[in-house]
Every structure is written in C-alpha cells, then in structure tokens.
Structure 1
C-alpha cells in the first residue's frame, strides 16, 4: 500500500491529466437548467442514499471534496453554516467524497464538525457524471431537481448567498 501523500499526489496528477485530455475544453458536467444526474451511494454510516429520491422537493447542495484538497475545508464549513441557517426552509446538503476510504472521509468530517450527510464515491462514478475536474466543486440543485448553479473552487460567502437565493424558497 502506498503512503497517503503519494496516493494523494497520484490522484491529483490523474485529475490534472484527465482535465487536460478532456477534448475541446468545454465543461462536461450537466448544464444549468438540466436535471441533476441520478446516483446511489453509501453514506459514512453505511446507509444507502439515493439522489434525487431521498431529497425530493428540497433544494440541495452537492459538494465534491477530499481531505487533501486545500480549499475543501473552508468551503465545507461555510456550507455547513448555511445549511444550519436555512435548514427550516428544507435545504439539504450532500457531500460527495471523491475516491477516499470510509475511515479517511469520516475522520475529516468529524474534524470539521459538519452535520450534513457525506457519501463515498470510491470509483469516482458520481464525480464523472457531474463533470468534476477539480476540487472543491459545488452544485446547487433546486427543489425540482434541476441544476441551478455551480461553483468550481472554494465557495465564499458571497457566492454561496447568490447560489442559495436561486434555490431557496422565496420569503412570503
């Protein structure tokens, strides 16, 4: 078994090569206004999560991350604050761990103290379906299951507020 830093480096190199070889340089992920791709994945507690079935009628943030990602921790803690602030409006978050084992992913989630669900994507099937080319990447899905927006890289408070305005129910 390779040491963790070498595995992380090899994974990062593979992602870079994949992005470089993607063809015409266009974004391969689903476009805004398109139904978010369906998937099934195992949660850190061992339960199966199904998207969009388990989140029907709710606005959802899907956040792709890994523990070696320099900007993922900040994004995840911001998303957690927003999730807690808007939970009453039905906001859900599903964090998709990219190609790491359960122990590594669970330790990182516990270290951050985030309270939302995290699933494992050990073979990067979900990651590929969403056209992820770098981490973090955050997808915003409206209550109808349509992609409303995407942030590639660290999500800051301003970007998060703009995206949430698009998917959260309007105040009456």
Structure 2
C-alpha cells in the first residue's frame, strides 16, 4: 500500500479547511489595529479611545448560535476583568432584533450595531463570532474564531500577560 499521496492530499485538505487567517495568528497580527468609529444613533465606539487598555473586539449578530452561546461568558469576563475593554460590534441589520438580544441576554458590554459590516470588512471578518485581542499599544495579538471558553485559565493568563 502507498500512503504518501493520501497523506499529502489529507494535509492539503486540512490546510484548506482551516484557512490561513482563521487561527490564532491572523494576517494582520502584530500590526496596529485599524482605527474606527461606529455610531448607530444610540451607541458609539471609537477604538482609539481605548488605547492603554487590552481590547477584545468581538464581532457578532443576534441570530448566530455560537454568538448566543458566547454572550454569558463574555459578560462574566467583563464582570471579572473590568480593566478589559470588551467592544461588541453587531452586524444586525434589524435594530429590533439587536435590541431584543441586548435586553434578553442583559448585555452590559460596550456594544454598537454596524449593519453595513464596515468594521468587520476592515478586519477581514467573515465568520461570527470572531474576536480580536488588541494589546495596550493598539497592536492586534490574536484572533479567536468561534465561541471560546473565556473562563479557560490559559486564555485568562494570556490576557493578563498583555
């Protein structure tokens, strides 16, 4: 039996499935995070105003099951680590769906609605949820895709190290 061809094919398939920018080190890692201001008429977020803090820039929407699952853990992280700036940018087109989500899940994060996905496009976000970890100097350090365990000691230690 010859396996090298199957191994090479499997490696190629795995690399295509995983994607280059879908892991912990996105293409824009170690670069200054693109600045933005989003104002939805109710709330406004200007990234540069959080310089000096570690920022978790979280992209989400109200109909996304992993986003729904992640919300309580992000809220707990916010309570445990008020020194972190957790900025939640929703791509909801419908303001009523966005508002229902905020009220239902008692979201107390800095959140804003960006229905045109202007900021998500700026960061190359195509999946939800995605979170960029930005250090105190405004440099992107990590990108987390999906619903991580924000209570995980490894993640908490990493955030403490920034």
| Both structures adopt the same fold (TM-score exceeding 0.5) | yes
- TM-score, length basis structure 2: 0.76
Please report how far the alpha carbon of residue 46 of structure 1 lies from its aligned counterpart in structure 2 after TM superposition.
1.7
**TM-aligned CA deviation for residue 31 of structure 1:** 2.5
- Whether the 8 Å CA contact 1:65–1:95 is kept in 2: the answer is yes
Question: CA shift at 1:114, angstroms?
Answer: 2.1
- Runs of 4+ deviating beyond 6 Å: none
CA RMSD of aligned residues (A): 2.2
Q: Tell me which of 87, 93, 99 is aligned to 1:106.
A: 99
Change (3 A) 1:40 1:161: farther
The secondary structure found in structure 2 opposite 1:168 is helix
2:87 aligned with 1:73, yes or no?
A: no
Determine if contact 1:83/1:93 at 8 Å carries over to the other structure: yes
Please say if 1:132 is aligned against 2:125. yes
C-alpha distance 167-157 of structure 1, shift in aligned 2 (>3 A): closer
Residue matched to 1:86: 81
Match of 2:154 in 1: 162
Distance 2:150 2:53 in 1: 21
Query: Mapping of 1:1-172 within 5 angstroms?
Result: 26-27=20-21, 30-42=27-39, 46-51=42-47, 53-87=48-82, 90-157=83-150, 161-168=153-160
Equivalent residues of 1:64, 1:96 under 8 A apart: yes
In 1, Cα distance between equivalents of 2:30 and 2:55: 14
Greater mean deviation of Cα atoms: 161-170 or 118-127: 161-170
Q: Which sections of structure 1, spanning at least 5 residues, go unmatched?
A: 1-24
Unaligned runs of 5+ in 2: 1-18
Does the CA-based 8 Å contact 1:143-1:167 persist in structure 2? no
TM-score (norm 1): 0.72
Aligned to 2:12: none
Task: Determine the C-alpha separation between the residues in 2 that align with 1:133 and 1:46.
Answer: 25
Kept in 1: contact 2:150–2:156 (CA 8 A): no
